[in-house]
Structure formats: C-alpha cells, structure tokens
Amino acid sequence: MKTIPHSDSDAWNIAEGESGGQPILIRYRPSLEEHLGDTRYPRRLTITWEFDTNSSGMPSDQVADEMRDFEDVIDAALDPEMLAILAFVHTHGVLAGGTTIWRTSAPSENELMRRFPINQDFQSN
C-alpha cells in the first residue's frame, strides 16, 4: 500500500457551488482517492464548526481566520503521526447560519481518545 502524504505537503483542490441559493466550498485532496477503503484507516472522525453567515452566506473574515488557525492545530496534532488523515473540508451557508466540516479517516478512536480525551463522533467509513 502506498504511503499517504502529509496534508501540508499534499495538493488540495477547491470546488465551489450553491445549494438552495447558498454557497458551498469544498477543499479536498485528490491523491487520497487511491486510498479509499484503506483498511489502515477504517474509522471516520468528523469535526463541525457552526458559524453565523455574512452577507455572502459564508463566515466573516475573522471567523474564517479562526477556522484556518483551528485547522492548523488539528493538522499539527493529528497528521505527523497519522493519527487521522484530513481528507476534506466542507463549508456551506444556510439561511440561519453555516457550518464547516473537517472529515478525517483514522486507524481507531482508541489512540485518539487516549491522546486527546475530548468528545468525538466516529462512524464507520
């Protein structure tokens, strides 16, 4: 099985669109397609950040900066030891607010819970 590149050295693509007149932005790593179904990472960790939307339906510049900082923290904590692989980030606005979702794949929640005893939502891939 090929080595999975670290997220900070991997290429990211951006897709933009709309749903119900509200913007959607997805950043994803196309190199991970060849790793779909990789048995080394059978668990999915989803982290969600809810935000108030600005006039464009997206987070304010300040909140967007805070989200980038948060993503850097997530990446620095999880990626170097491959505790979880950040696969994509999905941001969308809705009339009452918006959400950004970070989706990762992980070998198991046990190591993550031992290292970071926080509430996490794991589901089968």
Tokens of 75: 């990446």
Positions of the chain with pLDDT under 50? none
Give me the domain span that covers residue 19.
10-116
54-76 tens-digit pLDDT: 988 899 999 999 999 999 999 99
Looking at the structure of the chain, the number of domains it has is 1
The answer to whether position 2 is within a domain reads no
| pTM, two decimal places | 0.85
Helix, strand, coil fractions of the chain, as percent rounded to 5: 25, 40, 35
The answer to whether position 5 is within a domain reads no
Q: How far is CA 36 from CA 54, 73, 75, 81, 86, in A?
A: 35, 25, 20, 19, 13
Q: Strand, helix or coil at 78?
A: helix
The answer to whether position 121 is within a domain reads no
